[in-house]
């Protein structure tokens, strides 16, 4: 499997009045083509910050202070990667929604309440697929047998121009003037047609009808499905889901997870799933990364992580989760998540770790490989590998 996106030593800090919050401390992870990667951790561990740094949507007072985010759009891994942190904002805008898409926790906040559903899904197409849609329209126009009249000829010319240079000045001028902007009608119709097709692909019945409705007419689960439709409209290579099902009821969450599984086979290549729910991870992910206080503690294939957790935090976390067949008391982790303005020295988990040694306070453990593709950042394992 070849790499799709990887971060190398990513460092992100938030410069607040209370001090510098060291949110990410050299996070390195890698997502392959066709893989569902789960990023787990509790609140404040930095999982959201990680993906937002990857997408370059961190805002003031946050700043990405170091590292690289390498994106390999080609399928064979031999093409040179592009460092997303070095790209211009314009390049990033072209990438977002087209090659990498993201969906968030709150579907209400993601949908514009005064635009119809169809319009919002069509927006994706209008932004990223203008040229193709124009070419499609031109082909339809050439194929149609109706008489050529001056209007059609002008329209044809305009679309020909749009198919090659959509940012041309004359097209933009036309789009702003009241009557002339109707040249885009066919474009909008085509975008809407594709939008309805996309909505139907997500197993939403009466797609045509839904496209005409507004977000407040839909339930939470439906809204989240529409958000997914918008995100997947342009067949991105990577879908990032930031706690996308946390706000939904169990039965609706089940629907959404099923949907994602289904789509993974048809539409998306890879998924980066952020969640705090280990159950979702066990069910949907191929590979898992566990984060704590801005560090990636452990990365492994999902079976290895659940059957043989190595990092003390992962072990403690798995013991603290209530399961189906549970006996006795739940094990809790003593202490609290640290304040990242003044994180603990050395390994950030050492104040709460049962197996902490003196070296854990002084130095930060580098990631070591244990077993099959299984990385751990813990001194318990670095010494063993040295032996």
Which residues bind to other proteins, rule: CB under 8 A?
Answer: 17, 42-43, 219, 221-222, 249-255, 257-258, 276-283, 302-303, 306-307, 316-318, 320-327, 329-333, 336-337
Are the C-beta atoms of residues 114 and 212 closer than 8 Å to each other? no
Q: Which residue's CB is nearer to other proteins, number 111 or number 134?
A: 111
Q: Which residue's CB is nearer to other proteins, number 71 or number 313?
A: 313
Closest CA to 301 of 316, 286, 315, 322: 286
Q: Which residue's CB is nearer to other proteins, number 117 or number 162?
A: 117
CB of 117 to other proteins, least distance (A): 15
Q: Which residue's CB is nearer to other proteins, number 65 or number 277?
A: 277
Residue labelled with tokens 């885009």: 184
Q: Which residue's CB is nearer to other proteins, number 174 or number 306?
A: 306
Q: Which residue's CB is nearer to other proteins, number 249 or number 355?
A: 249
Q: Which residue's CB is nearer to other proteins, number 141 or number 259?
A: 259
Give helix then strand counts, H and E, for the chain: 16, 12
CB of 266 to other proteins, least distance (A): 17
- What's the rounded Cα separation, in Å, for the pair 123 and 140? 22
Q: Which residue's CB is nearer to other proteins, number 235 or number 255?
A: 255
- What's the rounded Cα separation, in Å, for the pair 297 and 378? 7
CB of 254 to other proteins, least distance (A): 4
Read off the tokens for 182: 């109707």
CB of 144 to other proteins, least distance (A): 41
Q: End-to-end alpha-carbon separation of the chain, Å?
A: 31
Q: How many CA atoms lie within 13 A of 295 on its CB side?
A: 24
Buried b (16+ CB within 10 A) or exposed e, 189-212: ebbbbbbbebbbbbebeebeebbe
What value, to the nearest 5°, has the Cα angle with vertex 9 and ends 6 and 10? 80
- The two beta strands, 375-376 and 368-369, are antiparallel
- The two beta strands, 295-301 and 270-275, are unpaired
Read off the tokens for 72: 């390999």
CB of 341 to other proteins, least distance (A): 12
Q: How many CA atoms lie within 13 A of 192 on its CB side?
A: 16
CB of 1 to other proteins, least distance (A): 19
CB of 104 to other proteins, least distance (A): 19
CB of 119 to other proteins, least distance (A): 23
């Amino acid at each position: 499997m070849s790499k799709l996106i990887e971060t190398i030593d990513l460092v992100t800090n938030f410069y607040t009045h209370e001090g510098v919050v060291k949110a990410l401390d050299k996070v390195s992870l890698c997502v392959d083509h066709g893989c569902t990667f789960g990023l787990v951790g509790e609140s404040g561990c930095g999982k959201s910050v990680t993906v937002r740094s990857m997408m370059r949507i961190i805002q003031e007072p946050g700043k990405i202070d170091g590292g690289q985010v390498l994106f390999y759009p080609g399928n064979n891994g031999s093409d040179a990667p592009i460092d997303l942190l070095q790209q211009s904002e314009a390049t990033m805008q072209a990438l977002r929604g087209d090659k990498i898409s993201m969906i968030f926790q709150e579907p209400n906040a993601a949908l514009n309440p005064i635009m119809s559903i169809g319009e919002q899904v069509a927006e994706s197409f209008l932004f990223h697929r203008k040229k193709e849609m124009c070419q499609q329209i031109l082909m339809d126009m050439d194929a149609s047998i109706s008489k050529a009249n001056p209007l059609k000829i002008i329209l044809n010319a305009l679309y020909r121009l749009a198919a090659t240079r959509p940012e041309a000045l004359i097209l933009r001028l036309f789009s702003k003037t009241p009557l002339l902007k109707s040249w885009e009608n066919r474009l909008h119709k085509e975008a809407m047609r594709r939008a309805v097709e996309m909505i139907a692909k997500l197993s939403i019945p009466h797609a045509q009808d839904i496209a005409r409705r507004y977000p407040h007419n839909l339930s939470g689960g439906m809204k989240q499905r529409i958000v997914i439709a918008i995100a997947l409209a342009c067949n991105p290579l990577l879908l990032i889901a930031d706690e996308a099902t946390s706000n939904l009821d169990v039965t609706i969450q089940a629907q959404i997870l099923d949907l994602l599984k289904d789509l993974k086979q048809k539409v998306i290549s890879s998924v980066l799933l952020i969640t705090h729910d280990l159950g979702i991870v066990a069910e949907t992910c191929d590979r898992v990364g566990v984060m704590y206080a801005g560090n990636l503690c452990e990365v492994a294939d999902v079976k290895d992580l659940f059957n043989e957790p190595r990092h003390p935090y992962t072990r403690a976390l798995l013991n603290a989760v209530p399961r189906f067949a549970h006996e006795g008391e739940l094990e809790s982790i003593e202490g609290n998540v640290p304040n990242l303005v003044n994180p603990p020295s050395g390994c950030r988990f050492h104040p709460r770790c049962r197996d902490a040694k003196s070296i854990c306070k002084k130095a930060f453990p580098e990631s070591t490989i244990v077993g099959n593709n299984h990385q751990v950042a813990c001194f318990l394992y670095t010494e063993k590998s040295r032996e």
